[in-house]
Structure 1
């Protein structure tokens, strides 16, 4: 069980609050904080972000050399390294991770600026893409990289209504996709630091209002030149420079919350917000990964580069706005388009969810027709259909979760959540990793983050809950999955459950879990309520946790022959518990949601029994093999 034991080093970041012997109230941290990584034995389980960051050793260079300090223009902090960002002092066969970058020549920079300001982004992307494609093959020679002000606008084009759902030209949605492709190539070639992505994607708002706060950017980035914008680069016109997502959005988590609202309420907008959010998560992940690598190479215990990461800046920016930044982060992660979420996370651009009206499209078409009054050519304005038809009404608002039955609303919510769950989990994983890695310097308390996340996970509707904790499709790392699953499980465990300290005190106080703890402290018990949905959720939790321990547990420990009995006892206990709940009235029976929860409970019980049988058979087979080896 080495992998399970080591994965639970995460628990040691919890605050000690041992006030009760009840497992549901018991602290999951019984020792002092450890500085070891969350999982010293990395495993490739899913497309979980930061999979390469399981250990600091994975970032060790082949050889250490004399170092010198070089400044990063993006962060305003010192990088201690013997080479520019992304390079190590290695042998001749070592291939640097990212290209070095250099600014565009003034003439090319001006050309790109003019193209972007004159609404000719296709030409700007074509020029920049050609420069990227013709970069030097040698990583030691820098390639041309656009200034952050232009990168910022290209990032906004991905999702801006003028280029997506309300395009001013028929081919502008294609330009949005071309911009996304170019930015991904730029990130892959130069990396997040060399390309200057941090200053490109920061939201220009202050901590107390939603108005742009340019003064701090002028003081930090401006070089004082007459043509410099607020970030010290070539100025873009106000129409484009002040209408990007970075100026319109209050902060990153506000935009994320609105994007997740769109996934339920406005599917047409969501298809563009999804592309933007996927790119931003890739960028945040690469940024954390690169900064962690450089901090480790430089033996920086306080992790200065990681502290100045893009994600840390987003969290710090929000923490100035409200004291409870954790609650704001969790609200954004679980935004689902309901009334509360829609009131908190509102649109970025004015009426961005509205598609282009049909009447406006027809009017624009008429303007392009030939008009010559002297020759009687009126461009179709006097057609009978045009004159006498009533004004076209605005098309209906895209899919909304209206005033239908609760089951219909949950069905729409569940369908939308299927696509968004990996994105929600990826973002949480990144925030979790940042907080864990920074220890006391973390902008968010690690323990509180997980507690809030687990509580909101517990409250999800059963169909969404089952998808959210599914270990086979989760975007969380294995250690994070175990952390989350056991955290939610504690919220359902009754006070009568056996105290894990009585089973394996050392393991439990170290924040670990073992087959014995799972068999004796969790599997035999029902939920702490008589609600059918709660018992079904607990059964699904046990099912996923049992699968993880079985699949990834290695070492001397294994499940005992009592596993089948523990699973069977828990199944019967949950059935008895839900039977204590009375129906709504004489002859009325159970509601549809209760019937669905009962069906889910029975299906989960069948899977649990199958797992118990499979584990028991594998144990018996292993025992037979060991006996044969001894006889031989």
Structure 2
């Protein structure tokens, strides 16, 4: 194999106009589809037809929901999905509830009263059953036919009387809807008279947009682990809903476009015809993006900020920007089931109207009265202040007003972010959302995200490289297998981050391998001449450690593709780069005998591990290149050699 062959065998290429689709790569059928693993072998998911449940059943469910008899209502709705397999044979539609009822179940899956602040097991069961029903509805009926676009729309400040159903719910097949319903066209008949669907407790009314909820949820991953457990499940479902909604509309748009071309209905020459993706522009993701434009916020900056929302100390700006969604969300109920001593029992004297604790509100897990705050307890967290009130006005910051411009460029001294289990769990979710946003930037007009695809990658990689070293390493290491991000997106990110560290004296990739550079791919010649022999442009240990991690990831991606052959120049480039990075950090070492900081020690350790991995990469390439054909290793043994 030629030394300059581009990285095409691992989906590492994309078109010159985009880093998302890889339309010219051999694996186009796999890379143009954003979907969950359920449909990875089928570009167009097969969902059942749907229609709204009969009026009598709808009214019965509505009464149950208004009376907070949630489990019977969910059981009734679930029974309508249980015979979906038989309906597939008869081609009958599946009965689905109106958006108002779906939205209420979406609130129950995450509200503190039914998750972290549940006073009894029944409340936890309600949240679990609601989530299970919604996921089953998503998998069988699909997000378009179930009208999740209307159900999961954010309407902050609107009264519950505006809930409504669609005028027509009878879709012939997946993708034949008009986009999921018109926001604001709900009828009064579907209004649910319940506090859980009003402005006080509904997640769709408490927040102005999805991205503010996302930022708070990601904050909980580092500061409120008892809440993150539930936010993680909610986000996993919502992201899957966004993915499947996007995939279904994308497949239908492309199918309709191919039909127009075959029928000769396209305007202009066939070679110049382009798909406009009308259904994709009505997707749930685009609706969430449009919510930012509705509030006159800077769309791209708000999206990137939410994807990189962290909270590790009291000085983090996100602590004042992303606030809790629900009232007193981070506090917990005291255990009222503990037995009291006889001396502590509340007095009961009916003649004096003393009823002890018999009239306490045991059933209602939520109170909005601040005087009753003593019925809650706040988990001790040393890194964040919760529930405190101060008379002084908060200090004005660039983030104090929604939509105000802010700088997402690398900070001069990033905080030493703690790597927690919650933070590690959140990174795959962040990358899955970036994958969707990347598709939005490619397929749709630039005015949707207010940027071009290259601007998105510039801003994302700039924010990524500014992260503290432990978090930066997590972002790279968690996607080596390509299960979260398609490999061509992963390779593009590596290229962007590597070029941001490379000094100006390094050769340009477009001069070394124009063909691979045009596809934004990685080739052996490019890696050997443009990246491996160099240090980072700065003298800090952290930057050189990050640069070495990126080179390590690029090298192993190239190795796994089988697009690299051994020769002496490869080993020289690796050893030269290791030596240059060691020299570079010595220039920035502390002078005067001062002890190294913890960050510097960590950076040196990462450099040592990464250098060993790069040397192992050279050994693996040498071993596979000189093996006889009869002794060639299988693919699994090659992958085992990687760290």
Equivalent residues in 2 for 1:186-205, closer than 5 Å: 186-205=137-156
Equivalent in 40, 52, 66 of residue 103 of structure 1: 52
> What is the aligned partner in structure 2 of residue 611 from structure 1?
617
CA contact (8 A) 2:289 2:299 kept: yes
Equivalent in 458, 463, 466 of residue 456 of structure 1: 463
- Mapped pair 1:399 → 2:350: no
> What is the aligned partner in structure 2 of residue 483 from structure 1?
492
Equivalent in 280, 286, 296 of residue 312 of structure 1: 286
CA contact (8 A) 1:469 1:541 kept: yes
Calculate the TM-score normalised by the size of structure 2. Answer: 0.76
> What is the aligned partner in structure 2 of residue 167 from structure 1?
118
Residues 367-424 of structure 1, C-alpha deviation per residue, up to 9 Å, x if partnerless?
x99967379995578xxxxxxxxx9795343535259xxx998463444321111111
Equivalent in 248, 258, 263 of residue 290 of structure 1: 248
- Mapped pair 1:472 → 2:428: no
- Judged with a 3 Å threshold, the aligned counterparts in structure 2 of structure 1 residues 230 and 169 are, in CA distance, closer, same or farther, namely farther
Distance 1:131 1:484 in 2: 45
Distance 2:257 2:142 in 1: 21
Distance 1:574 1:35 in 2: 35
Shift of 1:511: 2.9
- Mapped pair 1:112 → 2:91: no
SS in 1 for 2:190: coil
Shift of 1:337: 1.5
CA contact (8 A) 1:525 1:570 kept: yes
Distance 1:430 1:512 in 2: 21
> What is the aligned partner in structure 2 of residue 348 from structure 1?
325
- Mapped pair 1:328 → 2:302: yes
- Judged with a 3 Å threshold, the aligned counterparts in structure 2 of structure 1 residues 362 and 430 are, in CA distance, closer, same or farther, namely farther
- Judged with a 3 Å threshold, the aligned counterparts in structure 2 of structure 1 residues 501 and 294 are, in CA distance, closer, same or farther, namely closer
> What is the aligned partner in structure 1 of residue 186 from structure 2?
231
Residues 42-62 of structure 1, C-alpha deviation per residue, up to 9 Å, x if partnerless?
6989x995679999xx648xx
Residues 138-162 of structure 1, C-alpha deviation per residue, up to 9 Å, x if partnerless?
3211121111110011011110112
Calculate the TM-score normalised by the size of structure 1. Answer: 0.77
SS in 2 for 1:13: coil
- Judged with a 3 Å threshold, the aligned counterparts in structure 2 of structure 1 residues 131 and 13 are, in CA distance, closer, same or farther, namely same
Equivalent in 498, 505, 519 of residue 496 of structure 1: 505
- Judged with a 3 Å threshold, the aligned counterparts in structure 2 of structure 1 residues 360 and 341 are, in CA distance, closer, same or farther, namely farther
Distance 2:570 2:210 in 1: 46
- Judged with a 3 Å threshold, the aligned counterparts in structure 2 of structure 1 residues 327 and 400 are, in CA distance, closer, same or farther, namely farther
Equivalent residues in 2 for 1:402-551, closer than 5 Å: 410=416, 412-438=418-444, 440=446, 442-445=448-451, 446-470=453-477, 471-472=479-480, 475-551=484-560
Residues 224-260 of structure 1, C-alpha deviation per residue, up to 9 Å, x if partnerless?
xxxx996235111152221311111110011000000
Shift of 1:217: 7.7
> What is the aligned partner in structure 2 of residue 303 from structure 1?
277
Shift of 1:444: 4.4
- Judged with a 3 Å threshold, the aligned counterparts in structure 2 of structure 1 residues 601 and 202 are, in CA distance, closer, same or farther, namely same
> What is the aligned partner in structure 1 of residue 17 from structure 2?
13
CA contact (8 A) 2:8 2:521 kept: yes
- Judged with a 3 Å threshold, the aligned counterparts in structure 2 of structure 1 residues 3 and 523 are, in CA distance, closer, same or farther, namely closer
> What is the aligned partner in structure 2 of residue 274 from structure 1?
232
SS in 2 for 1:102: strand
> What is the aligned partner in structure 2 of residue 182 from structure 1?
133
Shift of 1:621: 1.8
CA contact (8 A) 2:15 2:21 kept: no
Distance 1:315 1:493 in 2: 34
Distance 1:324 1:441 in 2: 12
Q: What is the aligned-residue RMSD (CA, Å)? A: 3.7
Shift of 1:291: 0.7
Distance 2:381 2:24 in 1: 42
SS in 2 for 1:204: coil
> What is the aligned partner in structure 1 of residue 575 from structure 2?
568
Distance 2:346 2:140 in 1: 46
CA contact (8 A) 2:431 2:485 kept: yes
Distance 1:480 1:261 in 2: 26
Structure 1, 136-145 or 440-449: larger mean CA deviation: 440-449
Structure 1: 5+ residue stretches without partners: 15-28, 61-85, 87-96, 206-210, 382-390, 627-632
Shift of 1:283: 0.5
Count matched residues.
542
CA contact (8 A) 2:160 2:192 kept: no
Distance 2:21 2:428 in 1: 28
- Mapped pair 1:580 → 2:535: no
Shift of 1:355: 1.3
- Judged with a 3 Å threshold, the aligned counterparts in structure 2 of structure 1 residues 572 and 216 are, in CA distance, closer, same or farther, namely farther
CA contact (8 A) 1:204 1:214 kept: no
Shift of 1:502: 2.9
Equivalent residues in 2 for 1:23-62, closer than 5 Å: 37=23, 39-41=25-27, 59=43
Structure 2: 5+ residue stretches without partners: 169-182, 259-274, 359-372, 386-412, 633-643
